[in-house]
């Protein structure tokens, strides 16, 4: 791969995402947690509102759970908000650990991303976009372990952060899962090319899923309204919210925020 061509392309076309304009580890941790399973452009307004309300780890650690969940509501996967608050509590009390995976809810990927973008650690950051780019280029279905090693081999000295951002940008905007824009790829030379992807089985409407029901129940509790979900689906949703620590039930069985 022509890494120089990749970096030059990135400098020309990079999207102006707000977390790319900071090296604050707290802001970067917020962005990485929000970006899990969520598209970048959808995250931007939530990220900006979150930092206005909770500008640092101390502010988030001190915030009532209701305020944290209200700020997150609508983004989905609400348990991420509580995990982020637990991590912020550790940082506020003890500072940033050298090994970021010691923070609650922070796995190897998030630790690598924050370490690279906040402190310029020379580590490879490998998400699904990077995996797709490298697997297509090399014609290899990499395992997570071999993929990290392959990406690390490509790191340009002293420019890991820019390389990581460029690879993720390439996968998100050009080397897309479907209908890749190979004609716009800055490193198309030598690429094995996209392979046919298996067709996905039909998916239920989001409104028919328990995840939707959990979101509606939580939003109703935050607003002090009667949840618009009933019957067995309501019980499944409440059980899931309780399991994730997002609600508690009193002796009368009624759900409330923790």
Which residues are catalytically annotated? 32
Element (H, E) at 248: strand 248-249
Q: How far apart are CA 159 and CA 9, in angstroms?
A: 15
160-185 burial by CB neighbour count: b if 16+ within 10 A, else e? bbbbbbbbbbbbbebbeeeebeeeeb
C-beta separation of 182 from 193 below 8 A: yes
Element (H, E) at 97: none
52: its two tokens: 């206005």
Residue 37's Cβ-side half-sphere holds a number of Cα atoms within 13 Å equal to 5
Q: How far apart are CA 240 and CA 247, in angstroms?
A: 9
Q: What is the CA radius of gyration of the chain?
A: 20
C-beta separation of 142 from 120 below 8 A: no
Cα angle 154-169-124, degrees, rounded to a multiple of 5: 35
Q: How far apart are CA 221 and CA 216, in angstroms?
A: 9
């Amino acid at each position: 791969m022509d890494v120089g061509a990749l970096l030059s392309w990135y400098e020309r076309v990079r999207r102006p995402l707000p977390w790319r304009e900071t090296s604050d580890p707290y802001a970067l941790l917020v962005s990485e947690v929000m970006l899990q399973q969520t598209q970048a452009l959808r995250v931007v307004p939530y990220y900006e509102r979150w930092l206005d309300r909770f500008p640092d780890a101390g502010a988030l650690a001190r915030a009532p759970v209701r305020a944290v969940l209200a700020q997150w509501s609508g983004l989905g996967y609400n348990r991420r908000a509580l995990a982020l608050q637990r991590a912020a509590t550790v940082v506020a009390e003890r500072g940033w650990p050298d090994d970021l995976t010691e923070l609650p809810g922070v796995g190897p990927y998030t630790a690598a991303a924050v370490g690279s973008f906040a402190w310029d650690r020379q580590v490879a950051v490998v998400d699904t976009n990077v995996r797709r780019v490298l697997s297509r280029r090399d014609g290899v279905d990499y395992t997570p372990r071999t993929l990290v090693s392959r990406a690390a081999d490509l790191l340009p000295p002293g420019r890991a952060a820019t390389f990581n951002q460029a690879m993720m940008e390439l996968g998100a905007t050009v080397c897309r899962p479907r209908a890749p824009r190979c004609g716009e790829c800055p490193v198309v030379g030598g690429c094995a090319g996209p392979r046919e992807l298996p067709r996905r089985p039909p998916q239920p409407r989001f409104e028919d899923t328990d995840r939707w029901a959990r979101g509606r129940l939580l939003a109703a509790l935050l607003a002090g309204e009667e949840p618009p979900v009933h019957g067995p689906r309501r019980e499944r949703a409440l059980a899931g919210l309780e399991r994730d620590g997002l609600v508690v039930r009193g002796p009368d069985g009624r759900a409330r925020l923790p």
